[in-house]
Structure 1
Amino acid sequence: MSLSPSPQPPSSKDIDRQKTTPFLLNFCYRSNAFHNLVDFPLPTPSNPRPPLPQHLQIYTWYSCTLKELAHLLTTALPSIVPDPAIGTRLSFRLIYPDTSPATRGGRLGGEEGRGRYTSKEMGSVIISAPDVANGNGDSYGKDYELGGEDSEKTLADSKFVIGDYIDCAVFPPLSDGSVVPRSNALGRGGYANGRGRGAGGFGVGRGPSIPTGEWRRGERIPESSGGHRGGGYGRGGRRMPY
């Protein structure tokens, strides 16, 4: 039996922010590591609005970029980045319901038919010194710029669906001032690799590994060999448009 396809986000090129109503996004953040997936409980009949990790509540569009999210976070919570901030990496993950066969019906999700979440990497934004000569990057009036090869990726590019969460891990520069390597950032905190290869991706108990290959929500996931709404405010949880 196949799964019903998940709603597909519109192309970010088709979005007119002046005419399109924004949606609510729960934007979680943490210093030096991602949150663990067990920090994202699914609603249950007895707890329909479970608390989330520290987060901001914002209104945004599918065309929102990682650079815009980084700007929002560093503006709303300037203390989240070190001083000086140059060399900081802000890494982003998409947190969304796991639709693999092993979790449907709550078989491995515990009581009350609870499911669980999985994740996939979205990309990173790097804080760098302003390029005054060339005017590259975007300083937003600050003494540093937000950039990097992933900075223009949008929520739509990551197949974000309304109700998903975004988790941002803020990694200060290394002792020599260099940027934390991407490979190091991906392995810090939570269970990564919700798409493609990985042994994690599950937030509750021991589940089978995520199968290798490319797949999206709504598609049947090959059997492996191993056999909503966000509620409340977190610390710093506040509503703001973006």
Structure 2
Amino acid sequence: MDKEEIKKELEKPIHREKTCPLLLRVFTANNGCHHCMDEFSHGNVSSSKLQIYTWMDATLKELMSLVKEVYPEARKKGTHFNFAIVFTDIKRPGYRVKEIGNITPGKKGTNNAMTLQSQKFQIGDYLDIDITPPNRALSPSGHMRPC
């Protein structure tokens, strides 16, 4: 397959009634930053773990809605969700993090429709979501501060 065929294959819509969902392990934090990679390496990630069955075409907005069902405090107007993929690094031992987008419920944004598939999420990766309450400010760039 050439690059164009691969791209078309990746963009095919997923028929959710015929496609088996994947198990997505989601870790949430509400401290203004994502979990430190050492926490993943040593198995010390906090107990804020969710297991969600979903598909590769799941959008960040859809995933945010699922998280809000579990955490009522995340339903407050103006709460900010910052998403990152945590994956093992094949070049060196340990984990790496890739911020993929952030959304605020009720506000339209380009990240709302972003899918796991479009961000090259691989089955086995984790999703780390920092949930920032409305009364905490983000950095001027809109990104979370590092751990």
Q: TM-score, normalised by structure 1?
A: 0.52
1:126 offset after TM fit, Å? Answer: 0.7
How many residues are treated as equivalent by the alignment?
138
How big is the alpha-carbon RMSD for the aligned residues of Structure 1 and Structure 2? 2.3
Q: Is 2:144 the partner of 1:186?
A: yes
Instruction: Determine which of 63, 68, 75 is the counterpart of 1:74.
Output: 68
Structure-2 change in CA distance of 1:173 and 1:181 (3 Å): farther
Is this contact kept in 1: 2:86–2:128, CA < 8 A? yes
Q: Deviations over 1:12-66 (max 9, x none)?
A: 5331111100111101101032111111127xxxxxxx46432101111100110
Q: Deviations over 1:210-239 (max 9, x none)?
A: xxxxxxxxxxxxxxxxxxxxxxxxxxxxxx
Structure-2 change in CA distance of 1:182 and 1:96 (3 Å): farther
The aligned counterpart of 1:89 is: 80
1:76 offset after TM fit, Å? Answer: 1.3
Is this contact kept in 1: 2:60–2:114, CA < 8 A? yes
Alignment of 1:132-151 (within 5 A): 147-151=108-112
1:147 offset after TM fit, Å? Answer: 4.0
1:149 offset after TM fit, Å? Answer: 1.9
Looking at structure 1, the residues matched to 115 and 139 of structure 2 have their Cα atoms a distance apart, in angstroms, of 22
Alignment of 1:99-118 (within 5 A): 99-100=90-91, 103=92, 115-118=93-96
Is this contact kept in 2: 1:27–1:55, CA < 8 A? yes
Is this contact kept in 2: 1:87–1:126, CA < 8 A? yes
Q: Is 2:25 the partner of 1:26?
A: yes
Give the partner amino acid of 1:183. S
1:167 offset after TM fit, Å? Answer: 0.1
Q: Is 2:119 the partner of 1:158?
A: yes
The aligned counterpart of 1:169 is: 130
Looking at structure 2, the residues matched to 182 and 65 of structure 1 have their Cα atoms a distance apart, in angstroms, of 25
Unaligned runs of 5+ in 1: 1-7, 43-49, 104-114, 129-145, 190-242
Looking at structure 1, the residues matched to 71 and 101 of structure 2 have their Cα atoms a distance apart, in angstroms, of 20
Rg larger in 1 or in 2? 1
1:174 offset after TM fit, Å? Answer: 3.6
Is this contact kept in 2: 1:174–1:180, CA < 8 A? no
Give the partner amino acid of 2:68. T
Between Structure 1 and Structure 2, the one with more strand by share is 2
Structure-2 change in CA distance of 1:154 and 1:22 (3 Å): same
Looking at structure 1, the residues matched to 102 and 56 of structure 2 have their Cα atoms a distance apart, in angstroms, of 17
Give the partner amino acid of 2:102. S
The aligned counterpart of 2:37 is: 37
Identity of aligned residues (%): 33
The aligned counterpart of 1:14 is: 13
SS of residue matched to 1:57: strand
Is this contact kept in 2: 1:92–1:122, CA < 8 A? yes
Is this contact kept in 2: 1:172–1:180, CA < 8 A? no
Give the partner amino acid of 1:117. Y
Looking at structure 1, the residues matched to 123 and 44 of structure 2 have their Cα atoms a distance apart, in angstroms, of 18
Unaligned runs of 5+ in 2: 1-6
